[in-house]
Amino acid sequence: MNEPKRIPPASQMRELIAALALAGLPHAANLAYGPVALFYLMLAYRYLAIDRPALLPGKKLLISAALAAAAMVWQQSGGIFGKSAGSALLLAGVGLKLLEMHDRRDWYVVVAAAYLLALTQFLFSQAIPMAAYLVAVVVMLTAVLIGMHCGKAAVPLPLRLRQSAALAAQALPLAALLFVLAPRLPGPLWNLPQDKTATSGLSDRLEPGSINQLGLSDAVAFRVNFNGAPPPQNRLYWRGPVFWWTDGRRWEMRELPPLSNAAAAYSGTAVDYSVVLEPHGRNWLLALDLPQQFPADGHLSGDFVLLAKNPVNDRRLLRLRSYTDFRYPELSAAEKRLGLQLPKESSEALHRLVAQWREGRDDAQVVRQALAYFHDNDFHYTLHPPLLTERPVERFLLETRRGFCEHYATSFAVLMRLAGIPARVVTGYQGGLWNDVGEFLEVRQSDAHAWAEVWLNGSGWVRVDPTAAVAPERVERPVVAEVVSVDGGRGVESDSNGFSLAPWVLPAKTLWANVDHGWHRWVLGYDHNAREKALQWLNGGHWPKTLGWLSLALLGVSAPFAWSLWRSERLQTRDPALRSYQRFCKKLDRLGLPRRSSEGPQAYAARIARHLPRLASQAHEITDIYLRLRYGGESGSGLLEALRIKVRRLK
Amino acid sequence: MRLPRYPFARRRKPSSAPLTLGQRNIYVFPNRWGWSFAGLILLFLLVATNYNNNLSFLLAFLLAAMALISAVHGQRNLAGLVLKPGKAGAAFLGEELPFTLLLGDSRQRPRFALQIGFKEGVSQELSLPAGDDAVVLTLRPRQRGRCNPGAVVVESRYPLGLFRVWSRLAFDWNGLVYPAPASTAEPLPFASGGDDPGSNDGGDDFSGFRAYQAGDAPKRVHWKSYAQGRGMLTRVYRHGGQKQLWLDWNAATDDGVEAKLSRLCRWVLDAEHSGQVYGLRLPNREISPDRGLAHQAACLEALALFQR
């Protein structure tokens, strides 16, 4: 028996087109315009062609269109591999395939491709709203699929949507179980070209004078859970790239020999914490300085930056231990040379300034003098500093005196070098917003910061944050932020126009951040390591126990199902009258007189009267009440109760 | 859900009682689209692993779980159906032999896209609202005689088309296959040259009226009484004096048993059609002359079962 290759009707084509339009929608934000436009053009064209089949193109035209589409993707995405190019190719391919659907197999191909299309969206965004949206898309696609297998009975779309939503809901526990327990391979299996979409508030170059507007992205850089109490806000310096060499305008990194972990002397209490790091496309792992324990694929650079072996292109969960009190080893000759490097063109005015500070004082006192200079003079912290084209450091320090952290950190470092104190500029993130609900710290791109470090004999490298001297709020923000209003307005809780937000916005934001963090930490951050941990937690090393847990979980997942199946076996209906009548039939079945499947209630009653005359009147009464309740349009608990009692009394 | 055992499925004894579809006789197995879907999920897992993308994993597992659960829904789509053999029909060899299958539903559930048919016949699609129904299944038999149609196959791909869910039920019922009527006409074999078959109507003695029966020749209907609103009556003639038409085995000059039967079959049909009174004489059996559909059916049955 072969199923006829029936092509589904026009209504299903409309549904399929609608489902595809929904499935491809988020790609409008991810991909080049060409493939997206082609896709929606094809959908619209196919929609028009439903009633006008003559519009559908022939094979030759389709093949050339496919080649043209592939060429367009190649040209716009620079290849056909990688997630952008692959998704674009899929999008264009599905659009064209719509024009060439002849039999059931073609429908299957399109539906499968549509599921795949939904999947590719996750490669671009794994946010909660996207996940919810794509679940809706999957439900819609599945409803189309159900429509293809309902036969001639045209089941209306809302009913099918309900069926497919029920299917998804029933599948969810099993899917979750598979998600937690299915073995994972540490990916990637092969290296795909990475699309450079990751962004960071940090950069591998520093050029303070050339920027006169610092964009404050609200995007999350990473989130931190502390085991135990979090360190005070003014110790939360998350260390990123360190800059050594400058030409007076630009700062660059220098590679130093890696630091041996044992060389540092830690003191104070350790901070244990885990970081969910958003992908940023670079190797920096942004640890709290100074990390002592970190993942195996990380290493500490000579300037104490925790670096990963590969760029962070996926969200990572890091478990770290850091000390905020520590002492560095000796200053090497190379470090000393780099730490004192000065731009070729020197500034007389600055030399004079530094010489005035020195006047026989030691290094630590010079540092204090410099900070006092920043504090006492008319310096302002602003995100919109004037552009500095000529001699930026000198003009900033002596004339404009307006800038943000990078201006302060770099000019401070230059001053220190002029005074003969080795100095370097460190970038990273400072602070973060404490989430009271989830008890975690959320660090955003707008928390990017720059500070300086100087070498003081006897103390080693010491962090000096000149921005703190100017705008202490920038560094010592209260743990749960209130509206901070500095020159230029750098309040996290005021929107870009400077208006403060409604009072409920902050709690709502905090709550949402908490949900989002949980999502990142428990759903998106679940990897083969986490799975092993989960399994270990489950079995404590014993397989029988694991099996026990597993079967328990499976039981839990399948129990609702078994229950519904069992119920449908047992209770054939919810109509109480019918239920009573079935009980009546069952009783007679036990008496050896089962009701025949073709027999109506009255015929059955007549047969009972013939074969079991003693029950004749009872059977007739029961049948009569039952028929009145079920078919006579009568209702009433009294009648129902009578039926129930009569059935019960029947022996 | 029952594990697939299709090739080894136990042959059950044919039943004449109603059979209910349930765990014991419903089989579930992925079809081609099902295997392709499994491949699709593998592809999903590959992409998810490669991009280390957890939501892709979740989507892959969700689709896999939905596929598995769709098998349960598919099984439920069949479970609880009650199949009962109804009337087994009769047909000439070469024609479709009809069987009426009665469908009941012990759970009063709507059923979607059932394909019902004999294993060797044409299947037809059926969707049932909750309730009873009957369906006529046909089969093209290969030889005359009693014909058991073999197993009834009920199958469905509802809801996602990933699984073939099916049941094979054998019933104890037999249709009757008459010989195929000979294709060439040959005059009816009237004994000793007999009367002109066309003019015997007037020659018989009129003996009265009886109620009209299906198959009575229009010539014999008493149209006058019908026009007067007294219903349809048929004139009955006493055919004592008439020369009787015996369709005799020996009169068929064709070669071979089947050809002779075909000839006799054709004669029976022709004789009945022309309103003759006829008898059938086979080597092992004789059916005395009469006419009417019941008589014709008896003759055809004798032909069908000859030497069977």
Separation CA A167–CA B116 (nearest Å) = 26
Give the residue carrying structure tokens 């003639």: B237
Contact: A1, B161; criterion CB under 8 Å = no
Catalytic residue among A27, A289, A405, A520: A405
> Would you tell me which residues 118-157 of chain B have a C-beta closer than 8 angstroms to some C-beta of chain A?
119, 123, 125-127, 153, 155, 157
Structure letter (DSSP) for residue A79: S
Residue numbers in B near A138 (CB within 8 A): 59, 62-63
The reported pLDDT for the residue numbered B197 is: 45
The mean per-residue pLDDT over the stretch A23-46 comes to 90
User: Does A540 score more than 70 pLDDT?
Assistant: no
Strands in A384-529 per DSSP E: 402-403, 423-430, 433-435, 440-444, 448-456, 460-464
The mean per-residue pLDDT over the stretch B234-249 comes to 68
Contact: B65, A524; criterion CB under 8 Å = no
The reported pLDDT for the residue numbered B231 is: 76
User: Does A644 score more than 50 pLDDT?
Assistant: yes
- What would you report as the CA-atom Rg of chain B, rounded to the nearest whole angstrom? 29
Return the amino acid letter for A15: E
Q: Identify the CA nearest to B236 among candidates B269, B205, B268, B279.
A: B205
Contact: A155, B112; criterion CB under 8 Å = yes
User: Does B165 score more than 90 pLDDT?
Assistant: yes
pLDDT tier, A7 (very low <50, low <70, confident <90, very high otherwise): low
Strand partners, A428: A239, A449
Residue numbers in A near B46 (CB within 8 A): 189
Contact: B62, A138; criterion CB under 8 Å = yes
User: Does A550 score more than 90 pLDDT?
Assistant: no
pLDDT tier, A41 (very low <50, low <70, confident <90, very high otherwise): very high
Residues 6 or more apart whose Cβ sits within 8 Å of residue B186: B263, B266, B267
Residue numbers in B near A175 (CB within 8 A): 58, 61-62, 64-66
| Lowest-confidence region among A555-569, B65-79, B191-205 | B191-205
Contact: A187, B52; criterion CB under 8 Å = yes
Contact: A526, B54; criterion CB under 8 Å = yes
Instruction: Among B61, B83, B114, B137, pick the best mutation site for testing chain A contact (most A Cβ within 10 A).
Output: B61
The tens digit of pLDDT for each residue in B191-219 reads 544 444 444 444 456 666 777 777 777 77
Beta-carbon count within 10 A of A81 CB: 12
The mean per-residue pLDDT over the stretch B142-149 comes to 89
The mean per-residue pLDDT over the stretch B176-181 comes to 91
CA angle centred on A308, ends A338 and A465, rounded to 5°: 45
Residue numbers in B near A167 (CB within 8 A): 66, 69-70, 73, 159
Separation CA B44–CA A113 (nearest Å) = 11
User: Does A322 score more than 80 pLDDT?
Assistant: yes
Q: Which of A152, A167, A184 lies at the smallest CB-CB distance from B73?
A: A167
Can you list the alpha helix ranges (DSSP code H) found in B152-292?
200-203, 223-227, 257-273
- Interface A–B counts its CB contacts (< 8 A) at 170
| Lowest-confidence region among A119-128, A623-632, B165-174, B281-290 | A623-632
Are A317 and A297 in contact by the 8 Å Cβ rule? The answer is no
Phi, psi at residue A318, to the nearest 5°?
A: -115, 135
B62 near A CB under 8 A: yes
Task: Give the minimum alpha-carbon distance from B80 to chain A in angstroms, rounded to a whole number.
Answer: 8
The reported pLDDT for the residue numbered B7 is: 45
Residue A48 tokens read as 């028009």
Can you list the alpha helix ranges (DSSP code H) found in A33-183?
33-49, 59-77, 82-97, 104-122, 128-148, 157-181
> A565 vs A161, which has greater pLDDT?
A161
Residue numbers in A near B15 (CB within 8 A): none
Q: Identify the CA nearest to B158 among candidates A150, A145, A162.
A: A150
Active site residue A106: no
Q: Which of A131, A178, A561 lies at the smallest CB-CB distance from B72?
A: A561
Residue numbers in A near B66 (CB within 8 A): 142, 167-168, 171, 175
Catalytic residue among A449, A516, A517, A520: A449
| Lowest-confidence region among A583-592, B63-72, B167-176 | A583-592
Instruction: Say whether the peptide bond before residue A285 is cis (omega within 30 degrees of 0).
Output: no
CA atoms within 13 A on the CB side of B191: 12
Active site residue A405: yes
User: Does A151 score more than 70 pLDDT?
Assistant: yes
Contact: B65, A171; criterion CB under 8 Å = yes
The reported pLDDT for the residue numbered A56 is: 83
Cα A307–chain centre separation: 23
pLDDT tier, B55 (very low <50, low <70, confident <90, very high otherwise): very high
Residue numbers in B near A3 (CB within 8 A): 115, 157
Are A384 and A212 in contact by the 8 Å Cβ rule? The answer is yes
Are A394 and A411 in contact by the 8 Å Cβ rule? The answer is no
Task: Give the minimum alpha-carbon distance from B100 to chain A in angstroms, rounded to a whole number.
Answer: 14
The reported pLDDT for the residue numbered B166 is: 93
Residue numbers in A near B159 (CB within 8 A): 145-146, 149-150, 163, 167
Q: What is the pTM of this model?
A: 0.64
The mean per-residue pLDDT over the stretch B60-77 comes to 94
The mean per-residue pLDDT over the stretch A91-104 comes to 89
Mean pLDDT score across all residues of chain A: 80
User: Does B103 score more than 80 pLDDT?
Assistant: yes
Separation CA A101–CA A647 (nearest Å) = 59
> A221 vs A192, which has greater pLDDT?
A221
pLDDT cut 90: percent of chain A above it: 15
Active site residue A103: no
User: Does A481 score more than 80 pLDDT?
Assistant: no
The mean per-residue pLDDT over the stretch A589-602 comes to 81
Contact: B40, A167; criterion CB under 8 Å = no
Residue numbers in B near A314 (CB within 8 A): 51-53
pLDDT tier, A5 (very low <50, low <70, confident <90, very high otherwise): very low
Residue A504 tokens read as 């409920």
B68 near A CB under 8 A: yes
The tens digit of pLDDT for each residue in A349-387 reads 888 888 888 888 888 888 888 888 888 888 888 777 777
Are B69 and A168 in contact by the 8 Å Cβ rule? The answer is no
User: Does A402 score more than 50 pLDDT?
Assistant: yes
Residue of A nearest to B128 (CA): A153
Strand partners, A403: A381
User: Does A132 score more than 90 pLDDT?
Assistant: yes
Q: SS3 for A493?
A: coil
The reported pLDDT for the residue numbered B300 is: 92
Cα A598–chain centre separation: 59
H/E run at residue A371:
helix A363-376
Are A477 and A233 in contact by the 8 Å Cβ rule? The answer is yes
Highest mean pLDDT among A77-86, A137-146, A227-236, B173-182: A137-146
User: Does B188 score more than 70 pLDDT?
Assistant: yes
> A16 vs A317, which has greater pLDDT?
A16
Instruction: Among B2, B32, B59, B83, pick the best mutation site for testing chain A contact (most A Cβ within 10 A).
Output: B59
> What was the ipTM of the complex prediction?
0.76
Residue of B nearest to A142 (CA): B160
User: Does A632 score more than 80 pLDDT?
Assistant: no
Task: Give the minimum alpha-carbon distance from B32 to chain A in angstroms, rounded to a whole number.
Answer: 10
The tens digit of pLDDT for each residue in A423-465 reads 999 988 888 888 777 788 888 887 888 899 998 887 888 888 8
Instruction: Among B63, B125, B138, pick the best mutation site for testing chain A contact (most A Cβ within 10 A).
Output: B63
pLDDT tier, A478 (very low <50, low <70, confident <90, very high otherwise): very low
Task: Give the minimum alpha-carbon distance from B103 to chain A in angstroms, rounded to a whole number.
Answer: 10
The mean per-residue pLDDT over the stretch A195-224 comes to 65
B29 near A CB under 8 A: no
Residue B37 tokens read as 């879907």
User: Does B186 score more than 80 pLDDT?
Assistant: no
Q: Which of B47, B107, B160 lies at the smallest CB-CB distance from A119?
A: B47
pLDDT tier, A479 (very low <50, low <70, confident <90, very high otherwise): very low
Residue numbers in B near A277 (CB within 8 A): none
Catalytic residue among A465, A516, A517, A520: A465
The reported pLDDT for the residue numbered A144 is: 93
Strand partners, B102: B84, B134
Question: What are all long-range contacts of A351-357, with beta carbons under 8 Å and residues at least 24 apart?
Answer: A351/A418, A353/A397, A353/A415, A354/A415, A354/A418, A354/A419, A357/A419
User: Does A562 score more than 80 pLDDT?
Assistant: no
The tens digit of pLDDT for each residue in A486-533 reads 333 333 333 333 344 556 666 777 788 778 778 877 787 787 777 877
Beta-carbon count within 10 A of A280 CB: 21
Mean pLDDT score across all residues of chain B: 82
Residue A589 tokens read as 């079945």
> A168 vs A572, which has greater pLDDT?
A168
Question: DSSP assignment of A80-123, as one string?
Answer: S-HHHHHHHHHHHHHHHHTT---SHHHHHHHHHHHHHHHHHHHT
The tens digit of pLDDT for each residue in A224-273 reads 989 888 888 888 889 888 999 888 888 888 887 777 655 677 777 888 99
Cα B127–chain centre separation: 20
